[in-house]
Each structure stands twice: as C-alpha cells, then as structure tokens.
Amino acid sequence: MQHSSSSSIPERPAPQATGFAAAAPWIVSGLLFAITAAALRFEGQPWSCASEDWSPWISDVWTSHCSQHLFDPYSITHVSHGLIFYGVLWLVARRMKMGWRFCIAIAIAAAWEILENSPFIINRYRNVTMSLEYLGDSVINALGDVASCGIGFVLARWMGWRWALALFVATEVLLLVLIKDNLTLNVIMLVWPLQAIKDWQMVGHAPG
C-alpha cells in the first residue's frame, strides 16, 4: 500500500544518535515491559489464563478467558491508544527524538495497565461497565496491551494522520458492532457511566 506524503505528519530532521544514545529509548521501553510484569504480579494477577489454555487470541469478551490471553478484542483499543499517543506527542513534543516519543507512549500504556489492575479500577469496571466478572488482566494480557499500544504508535508514524484517523474510526465502529464496546464507550463508562449504555450492552448477556 502506498500513501501520499501529503497525508503524513511532517517530521523535523534530527541528528542521528549513535551507540548507547540510540539504543537508550528502546532499552528503557524493554525495561518498562519488565516493570509492568513485576507490578502486576505484585498486585496478585496471574501470569496467564488459569485454565492453562495458551491460545494467543480469544474473541469472546463474555467469557472468563477475556483479558487472560495475549490478545483479545480489547487489544484493538490499545492499538488506538498508540494512534492517539503518537498524534499528541507529535503536537507537544515534535522536537523530541522518535525513540523517546515511543518510549513515553509505552510508559503511559504501562502505567495504565498497572492502574487498571488496582482494586479501585477493577471494582469500577465490575460496578459500572458491562465487565461484571472482570478480575483484572493476566500478566501476558497486560504485556499484549502495552505491545498493542506500541503497534498503534508505529502504525500512526507509518500511515500518516489521515489514515491513522481513518483506522481509529473504523476500529471504533467495528468493535461497536462486534462487541458493543470500544475505546470511546470504555472511557465514558469509566468516567461518567450511563445506565442506558450499560443496559444496551447487556442485552442477551444478563448475569445468571
């Protein structure tokens, strides 16, 4: 696929770093994955799915497998995080080297995974969203979410803002159709929950 240069966010040329300076943001990014894993274990989250099912992808968000495998439909919302972080960092830190911008995106994603698996956020999900049985993420799922954010960041860099925006909208619509949830609704329901949205999401999935 070819993309016209007019749709790409222009980047200011920067001197090329060498040696440790060039590798530093990627080393730090790797360390952030390790810190995320350690923090989730400290919070009591399991390494992986308790049933020892090692499938890398689970499609049904209504099963206990959701948030326990490497990827699930919510991984797509983390790709969207990466698209957003790239755009925001381009606006506020465009003079910063790309590697460090990527590192910041990974740091934000990692911080969210740690916060998301705190008792407060887990209970918030269970009480006000469609995720009534949510018990937090497994370590492998959290790492998959952080990686998905990194993928989104790279895609935004490669595609340019017009295609990145189109991808964001397309995935939001697709998730809305397939699982009645997406990044927009997830944020709304966490911050300002609306019972009408929850009732619509729960149709056919009432707790038994």
All structural domains of the chain with their residue ranges: 66-208
Confidence check: pLDDT of 12 > 70: no
Residue 107 has pLDDT above 80, yes or no: yes
pLDDT tens figures, 14-62: 556 677 888 999 999 999 999 999 999 999 999 999 888 889 999 999 9
Average pLDDT across the chain, whole number: 92
- Read off the pLDDT band of 5 (50, 70, 90): very low
pLDDT tens readout for residues 141-170: 999 999 999 999 999 999 999 999 999 999
pLDDT of residue 208 exceeding 50, the answer is: no
Token reading at 127: 């009480």
Tokens 């799922």 belong to which residue? 141
The CB density around residue 41, as the number of other CB atoms within 10 Å, is: 12
Give the angle 124-129-131 at the CA atoms, nearest 5°.
Answer: 90
Strand, helix or coil for residue 47 = coil
